[in-house]
Chains A and B, each alone.
Chain A
Amino acid sequence: MLNNNRPAWWEGFLAGDMRSLARAISAAEDQPALAHAALAELGGRLGRAHVVGITGPPGAGKSTLTGRLAQELLSRGFSLGLILVDPSSPFTGGAILGDRLRLPDISGDPRVFVRSMSSRGSMGGLSRATGDAIKLLDAFGKDVILVETVGTGQAETDIVSVADSVVVVAVPGLGDDIQAMKAGILEIADLFIVNKADRDGADKTERELRSMLRLQEQAQGEWDVPVLKTVATSGQGIQEAVDTLRAHYDHSEKSGGLRERRRNRIRMEINDLLGARMLRELRQQMTAADLAAAADRVIVGEITVYQVVDQLWSLFANSAVFILRGV
């Protein structure tokens, strides 16, 4: 498909041109079909990068930490891609992407490519196009890709579906028993970083994380989730953090965990894409007026929302048969 209709950036992308890479990522955002066709031809170049996700509550210092990790990785000779995701306005769709502000001056280094992305309405901490942007950076040949999520609360765990190693950033003083990070986000960490460790309460936060981790069952040979302390503004603890991230990657590769993780990730991705596509198909078959009419029937108690969905589903299932069998 791409053969007949190569995008203008294709040759440049293959030749390692930075602006072509930037254009390719824009295509992932604005013209996904084009980006998907390109990715289909880049298959052989995928899966070589170490994808590191950085997540945590707003104000934890994720951007500053990301910048420091980037500096340290560069000094060790890695080429880098950075994706910095900030929220979009739910009202206007606009966004102020300010994460670049916190980066040290690394963007002039030709080994680094930094891209800010708006979440464009996605709720899981990333944007719809983030996964494709990661794949494009991977195919472009970046060794390590750092992905910083929007400031997250307890349940935005999309990062686990794109990253080989997940860093959860905590800070002292966010409440007893780490209120800000209960079930969801605590379970996805491969490394905890207590940032702003020069502040009061850092030791307490560290202790709480460790005791919580001790409650988790651990199988023989499984990665033991470390808790590190950093002061990103001064660089304290950054070398150890990078050592640990690389150790996690090596451990995952050797133990087969990386393969397993990527397999799960692809399964989830297929599920998600399929779900989104089915929803789109289904929505095409009903109008806003149909939905409003159904809502009115629910309001007067004639029918429940569950019955509406059952009825719509039976309509869809009939037409969906050919979609599923056609695959």
Chain B
Amino acid sequence: MEKKLRILIAKPGLDGHDRGAKVIARALRDAGMEVIYTGLRQTPEQIVNAALQEDVDAVGLSCLSGAHNHLFPKVVELLKERGAADILVFGGGVIPDDDIPGLKVAGIREIFTPGTSTESVIEFLRSNAQQ
């Protein structure tokens, strides 16, 4: 039986802009993936709990508040603590180019900034999220 990719799309932090997250969720659905969408204002702890219970292959984080340097690495760290370092973490949103290298060092595998095509996200997940 074919293994379906399961992806959690979450919005950590306090901003209320979820259009980007919804566009990605929809594109991944259309690519045949199962997308667990948890909505706005999730704490890193909530996101990690959901990722573990849903047994996802990847977690996509969207943040437009500027708090990505704190929130994204926190999710990676908590996943590691819970023995789930194998779950791939990627991010998107309004993220300055200067911040990207630091986020990658912290374990975020890829950052997609505004203007990225949804195909490149799908392609990235297909080649990296299969366990």
Contact = CB atoms under 8 A, between A and B. Distances in A.
B54 A22 contact: yes
Contacts of B19: none
B101 interface: no
Given A19-B52, A19-B83, A32-B1, A107 B46 contact: yes
Contacts of B33: 94
B28 A94 contact: yes
Interface stretch (B36-44, B66-74, B105-113): B36-44
Given A31-B1, A96-B37, A22 B52 contact: yes
A94 B34 contact: yes
A89 B29 contact: yes
Contacts of B82: 19
Interface string A83-99: 00000110011111110
Contact of A94 (B3, B29, B50, B83): B29
B16 interface: no
B50 A107 contact: yes
B82 to A, nearest CB: 7
Nearest to A12: B83
Interface in A91-113: 92-98, 100-101, 105, 107-108, 113
Contact of A30 (B1, B25, B36, B37): B1
Nearest to B45: A108
B36 A92 contact: no
A108 B46 contact: yes
B49 A108 contact: yes
B50 A97 contact: no
Contacts of A108: 45-46, 49
B37 A95 contact: no
B45 A23 contact: no
Given A22-B55, A107-B46, A93 B37 contact: no
Interface stretch (A64-72, A114-122, A292-300): A114-122
Interface residues of A, number: 30
Contacts of B6: 26
Interface string B68-108: 00000000000000111000000000000000000000000
Given A19-B83, A89-B29, A97 B36 contact: yes
A178 interface: no
Most buried by A among B31, B35, B39: B35
Contact of B53 (A29, A88, A96, A113): A113
A18 B53 contact: yes
Contacts of B54: 22, 115-116
Contacts of B126: none
A139 interface: no
A96 B1 CA distance: 21
Given A19-B84, A100-B50, A94 B55 contact: no
Contacts of A107: 46, 49-50, 53
Contact of B35 (A22, A95, A115): A95
A205 B26 CA distance: 36
B25 A96 contact: yes
A25 interface: yes
A106 to B, nearest CB: 10
Contacts of A114: 50, 53
Contact of B36 (A29, A31, A105, A116): A116
Nearest to B87: A19
Interface of B: 1-4, 6, 25-26, 28-39, 45-46, 49-50, 52-55, 82-84
27 contacts: A19-B52, A19-B55, A22-B54, A22-B55, A26-B55, A30-B3, A31-B1, A89-B30, A92-B30, A92-B31, A92-B32, A94-B28, A94-B32, A94-B33, A94-B34, A94-B35, A96-B25, A96-B35, A98-B37, A100-B37, A101-B37, A108-B45, A108-B46, A108-B49, A114-B53, A116-B36, A120-B4
Given A18-B53, A25-B55, A30-B3, 20 more contacts: A19-B52, A19-B82, A19-B84, A22-B53, A22-B54, A22-B55, A30-B4, A31-B1, A89-B29, A89-B32, A92-B32, A93-B32, A94-B28, A94-B31, A94-B35, A96-B26, A96-B37, A107-B53, A115-B53, A118-B34
